[in-house]
Amino acid sequence: MKSLSELAAIREQMKDKVAIRTGSGDIRVVVGMATCGISAGARPVLNTFVEEVAAANLTEKVMVTQTGCIGICQYEPVVEIFEDGKEKTTYVKMTPEKVKRVVEEHLKGQKPVSEYLIGNTKL
């Protein structure tokens, strides 16, 4: 059975790490989490981002955050990616499977997945 004392162990482990704060903010992934997003499946999309970003060792570079309604409810789940000096990327009708490709190709490979962009998605 897990006990809270494991948190003390996590604290010890982290002590030596320089950057504990997640995401210095080079890249910001924002998931819409209002009613429209949640009912369309935003929760697993958000959590897949959190997991895949950690699995790809990108937690220092990429910050995964939540926001309310982005205003295009019919395209939910909507994910916006903000990068320094670049235009915002808007991915729509996201799924956990699509998230894996976005992490691999966009966040790691720096090449947006064009099929999932708002301009290329049918309703």
Partner 1 sequence: MKDLSLYILDIAMNSVRAGAKHIAIRLEEQDVVLTLTIQDDGCGMTPEQVKRLFDPFYTTRKTRSVGLGVPFLQMLAQQTGGDVSISSKSDTEYADHGTLVTAVFHTDHIDFIPLGNLTETIVTLIQGSPNVDFIYCHSMSRGSVAMDTAQMRSILGEDIPLDNYEVLNFIKSYLQEQYQQL
The item of partner 1, ligand ATP, none sharing an interface with residue 57, based on CB under 5 to 8 Å by kind, is none
In angstroms, the CA 89 to CA 112 distance is: 8
* Alpha carbon distance, N-terminus to C-terminus of the chain: 46
Residues at the site binding ligand ATP, with contacts judged by CB under 6 A: 34-35, 69
Binding part of the chain for partner 1, among 58-66, 83-91, 92-100, 113-121 by CB under 8 A, reads 58-66
Record the tokens describing residue 56, joined without a space: 């790809």
Q: Which CB atom, from 36 or from 58, has the smaller least distance to ligand ATP?
A: 36
In angstroms, the CA 36 to CA 22 distance is: 27
Residues 6+ apart with CB under 8 A from 29: 49, 53, 62, 63, 64, 65, 79, 80, 81, 107
- Least separation in angstroms between CB 77 and ligand ATP: 13
In the shown chain, the binding pattern of residues 14 to 53 toward partner 1, with x for contact by CB under 8 A and - for none, equals x-----xxx----------xxxx-xx---xx-xx--x---
In angstroms, the CA 65 to CA 29 distance is: 6
Q: Which of 28, 56, 61, 73 binds partner 1 (CB under 8 A)?
A: 73
Q: Which of 66, 108, 118, 121 binds partner 1 (CB under 8 A)?
A: 66
